[in-house]
Amino acid sequence: MKKVIAIFIIFITSFSISACTVNKTYDDLYLEYSTHLEDNETNYLSTIDFFNHVSSEIIKSVVHVEKEIYGVGSSTGSGVIIKLEGNDYYILTNNHVIYNASTTVNATYTVTDYLGNEYSAYLIDHSEDYDLAILRFTKRTFVLPVIDFADYNPRLGINLSILGYPSYQLNAITMGNVIDYAPIDVASSSYDVINVLFDVLISDAPVKSGSSGSVVINEQFQLVGLVYAGNFLDSSETSEYTFCIPVEKIYEFFQLKQFSLVVES
């Protein structure tokens, strides 16, 4: 009798397992895949709209800066348009991008916009303590947009986008987050070029060497910082961390230099 019951239970078990196995066909998988895409369409569109605004509108405020010193050579960096007053555009970049060690030979500066148009630019003011500098160039008929500024430094974890011209790459965009504020020792630089002693914004957005002066924006497309250094681990030239002058220190620099973002009528 026991054997019969055991065989019966084994039979029931086998039957139940085979009966409750779900067969998944190509059509079922296709439906699951399509449903995932349909369910998330709104999120995708929001991400796409954000990125396209950065890549097609904000990029127009970003410029390439080239310094040339006769007999010494040339070097490049990035900058961002911060003000249009009359026929003059003002751009913000790093002190070490425009720095000229020579006391006898003047440096000449050329700014290139996102379309490749070149302009001669002139140094307005600079500071090694903030590693910031302001250049000016004359507007042509073509209008370039001015970047908006955030009022405060971004909080930890906030998403950032970095726009610039790293290693001569045109119109580059990278993304990451604010991961810390801390003092950084840029050992490779002499103190009359970079002497930043305050806490700087540290981001995990990667940049390449030559990204100095790249603009850092938040999700509201406002300037929250300016790249001035990165830690480059090897010859791949891509940084693990990016170091930026935070916007509140940029305001401090403007105040010190009596530069106003407000356009006088």
Partner 1 sequence: MKKLIGLFIVLLLILSGCLEIIQEEDSDEYRALSAQYDDFITHDVLNDEQFESFINTATFESVLSNVMIKSQFFNDLNSLVETRYGSGVIISKGVYYYVLTTSSLINSDQYDNATYQVTDYQGRITRADVDHGSTSYGLTVLRFQRTLDTHLPAIEFAEQMPLNGEPILEFGYKGKVVNAMTMGLMVEEYVDESTSYHYFYTTISSDEFANGSAIINLSNQLIGIQIDVIDGKSYAISIKEIIEFLQFYES
Render 222-255 in DSSP notation, one character per residue: EEEEEEEEEEE-STT-BEEEEEEEEHHHHHHHHH
List C-alpha distances in Å: 52 to 47, 134, 214.
9, 28, 18
Which region among 20-28, 90-98, 99-107, 128-136 touches partner 1 (by CB under 8 A)? 20-28
List C-alpha distances in Å: 203 to 128, 131, 242.
22, 18, 5
Number of residues that bind partner 1 (CB under 8 A): 54
Cα–Cα distance between 176 and 7 in angstroms, integer?
A: 63
Q: Is 174 in the site for partner 1 (CB under 8 A)?
A: yes
Q: Are 208 and 168 within 8 A, CB to CB?
A: no
Q: Is 192 in the site for partner 1 (CB under 8 A)?
A: no
Q: Are 100 and 164 within 8 A, CB to CB?
A: no
Q: Are 209 and 237 within 8 A, CB to CB?
A: yes
Among 7, 29, 143, 256, the residue binding partner 1 under the rule CB under 8 A is: 29
Q: What track of x and - describes contact with partner 1 for positions 127 through 166 (by CB under 8 A)? A: --------------------------------x-------
Among 16, 102, 231, 260, the residue binding partner 1 under the rule CB under 8 A is: 16
Which region among 144-152, 179-187, 188-196, 201-209 touches partner 1 (by CB under 8 A)? 201-209
Using CB under 8 A, which residues numbered 66 to 85 contact partner 1?
Answer: none
Render 166-197 in DSSP notation, one character per residue: GGG-SSEEEEEEEEEEE----TTS-TTT----
Closer residue to partner 1, CB minimum distance, 40 or 190: 40
Among 69, 84, 123, 175, the residue binding partner 1 under the rule CB under 8 A is: 175
Q: In the complex, what is the shortest distance from the CB of residue 177 to partner 1, in angstroms, rounded to a whole number?
A: 8
Locate 213 and state its tokens: 């002066």
| Nearest alpha-carbon partner for 155 in 75, 226, 79, 218 | 218
Q: Is 220 in the site for partner 1 (CB under 8 A)?
A: no
Cα–Cα distance between 213 and 242 in angstroms, integer?
A: 12
Q: Is 176 in the site for partner 1 (CB under 8 A)?
A: yes
Q: In the complex, what is the shortest distance from the CB of residue 157 to partner 1, in angstroms, rounded to a whole number?
A: 10
Q: Is 11 in the site for partner 1 (CB under 8 A)?
A: no
Q: Is 17 in the site for partner 1 (CB under 8 A)?
A: yes
Return residues touching partner 1 (CB under 8 A).
Answer: 2, 5-6, 9, 12-13, 16-17, 20-26, 29-30, 32-34, 36-38, 40-41, 43-45, 47-48, 51-52, 55-56, 59, 114-116, 159, 167-177, 205-206, 208, 238
